[in-house]
Amino acid sequence: MHTTNTKGKGGVHGDLINELKSLRKGGGLTSWKLNQAARIRSIIANRIGVDTDSPSLGHVRTYLLQEFTNLGESVEARATRNAFAIGWEHDPQNLVKRRAAFSKRLGRHPDTIEAYENEGIEELAFRLVSHDPVTGLSPKDGSIATVDGRQIRMAQAALNMVGQGLADMYGLGPQAPEILKSLGHGAAPYLDASVECVFLSSPKGPDWYTIKFRYRFKGKRNSYRVGLVTNSHDCEILMASGLVDDAFTLIDNPNIDNEVLRITSDSHFIFYDQATGSPHPLKFSEITAAARRELLSIIWQIDPDRCRIIEVAIPENGQRSGTLYEYRDSLDVTLDVPFAYWYAPGLMYLNTLTIDVTQFPSRDKLEFYIQPFLGPIMPGGMEPNSDTYSLTANSWIMQGHGVAVAWKQAA
């Protein structure tokens, strides 16, 4: 988190610090108090490319809430949101009580919590004054031409209006930025995706089976990153963060180093040339421990020593809009648990989903049950076609939508 020392300083930055500290008092961030924050309203109007008097207080509040979300998940960021009563909307009480409750949860003195809040306010003021809301570039970088800057501000304005529209339409209040974050949290969507999951015997022996995954999808990416963790809780947090494109949970693996090496070797990524259709295979490699810790620094819930990350860097000729990609991977799973599942790693337009259990160990002695959890796309179970279960969806699905596969001994 970036901090600056503003003691004794005035100007725009000093005004912002004063207004933000005033906003956190009492019931926290409210529209009527924003009406008194002239400097904040002026800066946000400039950021979204409108006249100072144009944005409504609702738009200003939604924009500011998004900036609070962008602070991340550090203790300073969480303390700052707590101070501004974000998450206390139904009963904000007052700043002293909010700070005391947060200090009790963390087991730290309220003065320490106040220091965290001040660091968060410094960071927020720095972002509003110095950084573009989308690119994070400072004006001194000179990296954005005037027309591009105007386009970026227009895009941000549209995003803020969508957030306010969600808040007004569904009564989401301060949760609107979080909804937007879940729809576009950093990982690119999977377009025109076809997903295959094939169940096979495992080279590990009769107590295991292997699932082979194959995704074919379109989009525009410069990398593809996969997280490897040791429990399902970390897997869900990692996927929700948007830092990776997919993630696997490694269980019953006494030597995680060997397992990571195996998965890195067995994972494949291909992009297809748009002009010729020729495939270009790429190999995964594990990122360094230092890079992993830096990447995961915004996710306080995950111990970086319990997580590994592999990735491929996609060359420039594979980064065009509408490029066809293919991702293949496999995972060995113990037979002790008689079920498995696949769920979408991100926002996905799903064309087809195929589950193939033809080569499952002792297939002739088992009965299989396939149950999608794809929302309104297909609420019921999938009827088997021999040993292959197929679904033509042609619809959007969200992260977490998927299908469960269960089995038992045949009667």
**In terms of Cα–Cα distance, which of 352, 357, 354 is closest to 339?**
357
State the burial class of residue 35 (Cβ atoms within 10 Å of its Cβ: 0-12, 13-18, 19+).
exposed
In contact, 195 and 324? CB cutoff 8 Å: no
Structure tokens at 125: 């003021």
DSSP 362: T
Which of residues 131, 156, 183 is at a domain's end? 183
What's the pLDDT score for residue 169? 59
Instruction: List Cβ neighbours of 66 (8 Å cut-off, separation of 6 or more).
Output: 133, 159, 160, 163, 177, 180
**Tell me: the pLDDT tens digits for 311-347?**
999 999 999 989 999 999 988 888 988 989 888 888 8
What's the pLDDT score for residue 147? 36
Q: What is the distance between the alpha carbons of residues 141 and 316, in angstroms, rounded to a whole number?
A: 24
Number of domains in the chain: 2
**Tell me: the pLDDT tens digits for 9-40?**
456 677 788 888 988 988 888 777 888 888 88
Question: Which CATH number fits the domain that encloses residue 267?
Answer: 2.60.40
**Tell me: the pLDDT tens digits for 206-236?**
999 999 999 999 998 999 999 998 888 888 8
Same structural domain, 304 and 194? yes
What's the pLDDT score for residue 72? 78
- 3-state SS assignment for residue 105: helix
Q: Please indicate, yes or no, if residue 4 is contained in any of the structural domains.
A: no
User: What are the CA-CA distances from residue 299 to residues 241, 243, 330, 345 (Å)?
Assistant: 8, 10, 26, 18
Same structural domain, 94 and 223? no
Which of residues 166, 183, 200 is at a domain's end? 183
What's the pLDDT score for residue 401? 87
State the burial class of residue 23 (Cβ atoms within 10 Å of its Cβ: 0-12, 13-18, 19+).
buried
Indicate whether this model's pTM tops 0.85.
Answer: no
Q: Please indicate, yes or no, if residue 320 is contained in any of the structural domains.
A: yes
User: What is the extent of the structural domain holding 158?
Assistant: 11-183
Same structural domain, 330 and 262? yes
User: Which range has the worst mean pLDDT, 168-172, 269-273, 373-377?
Assistant: 168-172
Same structural domain, 283 and 309? yes
